Amino acid sequence: MRPIGAYCNLNRAAAMQAMDMCLNLAYSLASLTKRRRTKMQHTQSPIEIAVIGEGLAGSVAALALARAGRKVTLIAPVVERMDRRTTALMDQSIRFMDTLGLWNMLAPASAALSTMQILDGTKRLFRAPPAQFRAADLGLSAFGYNIPNATLSAVLADAISGESNIFRLDAQLERLDLSGNEVILTLSDGEIRTAAFVIGADGRSSKVREGAGITTRRWAYPQTAVVLNFSHEQPHGNVSTEFHTETGPFTQVPLPGSRSSLVWVVKPLEAERLIALPLEDLSREVEMRMQSMLGKVMVEEAPEAWPLSSLMSERFGKGPVALVGEAAHAFPPIGAQGLNLSLRDVMALTEVLKTEGGSAIAGDSGDRFHRNRRGDVMTRTFGVDLLNRSLLSEFLPMQVARAAGLHLLTAVGPLRNVLMREGIEPGRSLKELAASLRHPFHRKKAG
């Protein structure tokens, strides 16, 4: 007979052997599954248009292209956002939102911008005269509308969820590789997909831009924007007021009711001081800076501070890739240009990519988009940069030039109207001028 210990040793050895067999089997199954998954990933049908990023620009791009007949895959992680900022959309952007069927849902939460005025709040020797711009002078009821970003995001999310041409992937882009006329996308969940065309709407640190080998120009400003909403005693009358100060603009923009949004550009240390103030003290500071134009002010919770910087891509498109929004351009919140410029990106891209009868996407679509957008983006970026630097400059001739320029706009009505038209729709006034020169004696027939 064997000793009891021998049986114990035998059973222990058998158990260890069985465990090794189980581990080997599990490893083999895992490897087989991984190989099958990889094969499946590479053999999935290619994406027609992939939109990377689900911010405002990316969401509008996905929706516009889907409604233009393209099959769109929106790739972005699902995140809960609390964005208390607002966006002023100009007339051209509002009309575009209307064509997408969104304006009726946005209108109840928006406030019209019927008049915009600029006041010199500096203590300099040469101060600019007050300048007022009225939408009625252009035959419009409003230059545009101020809309809470939270409302924009919610309306877009609802429209996207009901759009049959949009498929959503809850993932991040890890890597983009260009391969001939198609793009290989490696996602954060390990999935690898190919796309005929990719739109980078993934912000200033764009992985799409990086993968496409597109470089950028970047510069920073010694300024921080304090962003908040506030209620006030007196009605705003749909008037937006921008005070020009030595540290940058102080811009009040109407919201529905007796409320307004504010972008207050100051030096970084001053921004820290303002953000740290109790709301009652901050409210007094806002009212004092506004010269009590709207009566007593009460700042709402959670003011935010955003350091100011600018970015412009070397190219806005390349082969089967295009960049929109802050992946392509970013600059300080001056003159309501940011999202309006991004929406013009989307309008131009929709014209390039819209389908007629299921046509394939041309391999040079990104290059055509780049040529289309270059002039507008460069003009706006450098225009905002120049205006911002003119406020900061202590150089006396620059201050004189700024004051003289605003005086000229105030005194010369036709020049003011041209500027207003260009502000809401670039190229419109020049097209009208060219048409009038081609047909100087043309008159509409009566009746």
d(Cα 61, Cα 201) in Å, to the nearest integer? 9
Residues 359 and 429 in one domain: yes
The answer to whether position 342 is within a domain reads: yes
CATH classification of the domain holding 245: 3.50.50.60
Beta-bridged to residue 72, according to DSSP, are 49, 166
Helix axes 396-411, 365-392, angle to 10 degrees: 110
Q: Residue 39 pLDDT > 60, yes or no?
A: no
The answer to whether position 447 is within a domain reads: no
The answer to whether position 295 is within a domain reads: yes
Tokens for 399? Answer: 């201050």
- The amino acid at residue 395 is F
Residues 136 and 268 in one domain: yes
d(Cα 443, Cα 352) in Å, to the nearest integer? 35
Q: Residue 232 pLDDT > 90, yes or no?
A: yes
Residues 199 and 113 in one domain: yes
Burial tier of 317 (Cβ tally within 10 Å: 0-12, 13-18, 19+): buried
The answer to whether position 39 is within a domain reads: no
pLDDT of residue 422: 76
Q: Considering its fold, how many domains does the chain have in total?
A: 2
Residues 334 and 312 in one domain: yes
Structural domain boundaries, residue 242: 48-438
Q: Residue 331 pLDDT > 80, yes or no?
A: yes
Residues 290 and 357 in one domain: yes
Residues 152 and 194 in one domain: yes
Q: Give the pLDDT mean for 36-58.
A: 75
Q: Give the pLDDT mean for 58-85.
A: 93
Residue with tokens 């939408």: 135
d(Cα 62, Cα 72) in Å, to the nearest integer? 6
Residues 22 and 91 in one domain: no
Taking residue 222's Cβ as centre, other Cβ atoms within 10 Å add up to: 11
Question: Chain-wide mean pLDDT for the chain?
Answer: 85
Q: Residue 366 pLDDT > 80, yes or no?
A: yes
The answer to whether position 40 is within a domain reads: no
- Tell me which DSSP letter residue 286 carries: H
Residues 287 and 403 in one domain: yes
Helix axes 365-392, 338-353, angle to 10 degrees: 170
Q: Which of 266, 261, 337 is nearest to 302 (CA)?
A: 261
pLDDT of residue 390: 77
Q: Give the pLDDT mean for 91-117.
A: 97
d(Cα 229, Cα 210) in Å, to the nearest integer? 36
Q: Residue 185 pLDDT > 70, yes or no?
A: yes
Beta-bridged to residue 330, according to DSSP, are 311
User: Residue 91 to residues 105, 404, 423: CA-CA distances in angstroms?
Assistant: 16, 28, 10
Residues 10 and 126 in one domain: no
The answer to whether position 443 is within a domain reads: no
Residues 52 and 30 in one domain: no
pTM score, whole prediction: 0.83
Residue 273 DSSP SS3: helix
Residues 236 and 264 in one domain: yes
| 253-298 pLDDT, tens digit each | 999 999 999 999 999 999 999 999 999 999 999 999 999 999 999 9
| 159-171 pLDDT, tens digit each | 999 999 999 999 9
Tokens for 359? Answer: 């046509």
pLDDT of residue 43: 43
Residue 183 DSSP SS3: strand
Q: Give the pLDDT mean for 31-38.
A: 38
User: Residue 279 to residues 88, 119, 196, 275, 303: CA-CA distances in angstroms?
Assistant: 25, 26, 51, 9, 9
The answer to whether position 445 is within a domain reads: no
| 109-150 pLDDT, tens digit each | 999 999 999 898 777 766 777 889 999 999 999 999 999 999
- The amino acid at residue 259 is R
The answer to whether position 65 is within a domain reads: yes
Residues 238 and 277 in one domain: yes
